[in-house]
């Protein structure tokens, strides 16, 4: 078992989730849109935390796949709020760059699990 807080990808995902929460906390986006976006972003961290308690490599790999899916979901909501002019261009680029980094880290984690 490992401490999930020591995972670099967890720190990156947590930071992104927190920044999204702070941005959308005072934003005019609909409640449903905020809930969906914040849920998918925070699910990345939550699934990594849950994964750290697993002993089976198969279960751990499945959680990483779930994290990748949540990153894709987060991308959808970021793109939608940008298209609806809720999320300005500068913030959209910042959040997307950070999300791409997190997703890349997750793919690398998945690949290293498959190679073991």
Query: Domain 4-115 sits in which CATH superfamily?
Result: 23S rRNA-intervening sequence (1.20.1440.60)
How many helices (H) does the chain have, and how many strands (E)?
A: 4, 0
Q: How much is the pLDDT for 101?
A: 97
Digitized pLDDT (tens) for each residue of the chain, 116 residues in all: 478 888 899 999 999 999 999 888 877 777 788 889 999 999 999 999 999 889 899 999 999 999 999 999 999 999 999 998 989 999 999 999 999 999 999 999 999 988 87
Contact 46, 83 (CB under 8 A): no
Q: How much is the pLDDT for 116?
A: 73
| Residues listed for the chain | 116
């Amino acid at each position: 078992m490992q401490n999930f807080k020591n995972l670099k990808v967890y720190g990156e995902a947590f930071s992104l989730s927190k920044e999204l929460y702070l941005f959308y906390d005072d934003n005019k986006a609909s409640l449903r849109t905020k809930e969906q976006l914040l849920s998918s972003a925070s699910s990345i961290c939550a699934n990594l935390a849950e994964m750290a308690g697993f002993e089976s490599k198969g279960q751990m790999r499945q959680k990483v796949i779930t994290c990748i899916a949540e990153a894709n979901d987060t991308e959808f909501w970021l793109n939608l709020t940008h298209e609806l002019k809720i999320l300005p261009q500068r913030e959209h680029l910042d959040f997307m760059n950070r999300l791409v980094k997190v997703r890349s880290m997750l793919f690398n984690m998945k690949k290293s699990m498959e190679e073991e």
